[in-house]
Amino acid sequence: MRYQRPDFVPADFVPLLGIALAVLGSACSDPFGFSAEPVEGEEVCAASSEWLPNTPALDQFKPLPHPATECPFYRGGWQNFLVAMQPDADGRPAMLSYPTIDTMFEPALPRAETRSELGDIRQAGGRQVLIDQNGNSLYYGIHVNQAYADFLDAHGLHTREDVENASPRLFFPPGVVEFKSAWQIVEDGDSSDDYITITTTVPTLSQDGDRIIEDRDTPREVRARLLALHVVFTLPGHPEFIWATFEHSTGTPDTKAADGKRNVAPASVGNPNLEDPNNLQDDSVISPDDHLLYHGGTAANSGNQAIAETDLVLDEATQKFANQQTSIYRMFPASKSNTIDPDDAISSLNHNVEALFAQAAGSLDPADRRSHYRMVGAVWMDKPAYYDENSALQNDETSPFFDEDGFVDDIKENGSDSDFSILAGEDRLSSTAMESFTQAPDSFPNCFTCHNTQAVTAKGVPIDRDSSGVQLLEPKLLNVSHVLSQFILEETQAEAAAGEATP
């Protein structure tokens, strides 16, 4: 990435700069045998000693755009992750006590008093179901911080009509955080010592012809472990949200996917190309090793393929899909469109967080498993002035710079570091556990391809990418958050189910 030390550093950030060298130089007892030495030639992106053992809330400041360092954005993602995943007195992550769709909105139809804590097995994009190597679907959760709930209260956004009639120009304030989590059922005999693991409830699944039915009103208790987490937050000047994502790691040193420690899914060795965007002509094996969401030996053209819902076979007694699994891999190794090399700022920050955990090992709660996760990347608007209603927020023909001389070539060569780019960070950022089937360059290859200000459909995608779909919300600045459209979707489904049940 391009790096130039900024002339001005926000006052809130000054105490945090320079801590990396102190952390890296400290002698400490490291449970992983990790050598906390600086990585030669990398931009130093600091981890703050204040983050552990008890992580404070993120101070609000306005970070500088390119050519200044991207560290403040990545640091904000890590700090929000640490806050949300901090174990409470029962060892459960703090996030699980945060507001949810069920607690913030008023449904038109009554719901059961007891509903499953997690829910929704279908992914946005095509509403496909990911099935792990044990034959279980993943289960997803959505939580927000109190500032998000307070914003809804302040603007009276509680019912379907409230949300639908909200001003298209209303936008989220600084300090709002949203979390999307992906959880895997823990099988008997599985070792989950290094995962954030909880006892929770999930929907009871059933099969009605060609449809899989999720009944959140009939919860069943399971043990589940966290595989991945989206940490989505606003800062002053960035109402579009900074979209950061994390995955589980088996240990240090793990600064990048190439280190081989991220066991959710393997990464390809190269980026896909537009001539074969889905790697359908590529029969090379991604990895010989099994991963949580990948069967070792699977070829590229056999991976990232969803099973059609009409072909799914559910054993309702075991709640498993009979002899059916999907193999997932990361299509863009560094989550960048123009390179397979990870951003130095992320590698440095992940390295420094490893050192920070090693230094704090003796003071951490025994239930604390936060050190076993790594930031994959983050994406945000480098030019938030172009955050506008009914906008795709992409470096494509919809960009305000599309007609500029050199736009196409410079974007192709430099990606989000291009002077023409309206985005910054990882412009091909997807979660292998949450956007498993939409990573290809002709699909929904970064967060903003779905989370923008265009009209949203029932598939969780913009209307211009789903012309036959059911529109949930008209174009709005608030549409960057799918908490609102998910509530509308659940209302639509509840009303449809009630209609079907009516004689």
pLDDT tens column, 390-433: 999 999 999 999 999 999 999 999 999 999 999 999 999 999 99
pLDDT tens track for 207-229: 998 999 999 999 999 999 999 99
Residue type, 438: T
User: Hey, what are 469's tokens?
Assistant: 């779909």
pLDDT less than 50: residues of the chain: 1-36, 38, 501-503
Q: What is the pLDDT of residue 7?
A: 30
Q: What is the pLDDT of residue 392?
A: 97
Alpha carbon distance 500, 503 (integer Å): 8
Alpha carbon distance 416, 448 (integer Å): 13
User: Hey, what are 291's tokens?
Assistant: 């991963």
Each domain of the chain, given as residue ranges in start order, spans: 11-501
CA-based nearest residue to 382, from 425, 340, 422, 331: 422
Q: What is the pLDDT of residue 125?
A: 87
Alpha carbon distance 168, 259 (integer Å): 44
Alpha carbon distance 242, 481 (integer Å): 11
80 — phi, psi (to 5°)? Answer: -65, -35
Alpha carbon distance 93, 102 (integer Å): 19
CA-based nearest residue to 312, from 294, 327, 291, 326: 326
CA 417 to chain centre: 21
> Checking phi first, is residue 114 left (phi over 0); if not, alpha (psi -120 to 50) or beta?
beta
pLDDT tens track for 372-391: 999 999 999 999 999 999 99
Q: What is the pLDDT of residue 40?
A: 53
Q: pTM for this structure?
A: 0.91
Residue 174 burial (C-beta neighbours within 10 Å; 0-12, 13-18, 19+):
middle
Q: What is the pLDDT of residue 424?
A: 98
Average pLDDT, the chain: 90
Alpha carbon distance 335, 342 (integer Å): 8
* Residue 182 and residue 199 in contact, taking contact as beta carbons nearer than 8 Å: no
Alpha carbon distance 9, 17 (integer Å): 10
In order, the DSSP letters of 179-231 are EEEEEEEPPTT---TTS-EEEEEEEEEEEETTEEEEEEEEEEEEEEEEEEEEE
